[in-house]
Amino acid sequence: MTRTLFALALTCLAALPAQALERFTFDSIDGGTIDSADWAGKPVLVVNTASRCGFTPQYDGLQALYDQYKDQGLIVLAVPSDDFRQELSSAEDVKEFCEVNFGLTLPMTDITHVRGAEAHPFYRWVADTAGFAPSWNFNKVLIGPDGNVKATFGSTTRPQSPPITGPIEKMLGARG
């Protein structure tokens, strides 16, 4: 019964018309803004993160994924959020924590809401178009080069696992 419902849900989701990414801006942890218009034609993995979570060690995998594919066009965007009460109190603290503990160089936003009424417009768009809202820290949204949500992943899916790298490699191969 559960498999049947899951298959039906996937079929219904696949039948929905694709709605390409709208233009969004995020406040960058480094100052300035991050503009989704710069993502055109590139795959993007957007991950809501937190510094004090059991999944925080995934920062290593996110950085490794970014290092491996960035020259081919992959963007990995970390979106620190305190929606699950596990983020540090300021963007400056988050930036320092990530640099010192993980050597992060991938793009990061300022601390951002990812759920509910205060969710960033990007996350509201993902909820509206893909029916996905983060249920915990380190949930992942894969946006294709065409600007559509291609897949979503929960916290337990590691950044360098085949469910994530497989589609990314296909997207990057299609660009070449």
> What's the CA gap between 65 and 166, in Å, rounded?
12
Annotated catalytic residue: which of 24, 25, 53, 95? 53
CB 36 within 8 A of CB 21: yes
Q: How far is CA 169 from the centre of its chain?
A: 17
> What's the CA gap between 27 and 42, in Å, rounded?
20
> What's the CA gap between 15 and 120, in Å, rounded?
26
98 is catalytic: no
Q: Which residue has the tokens 């924590």?
A: 97
- Catalytic positions are 53
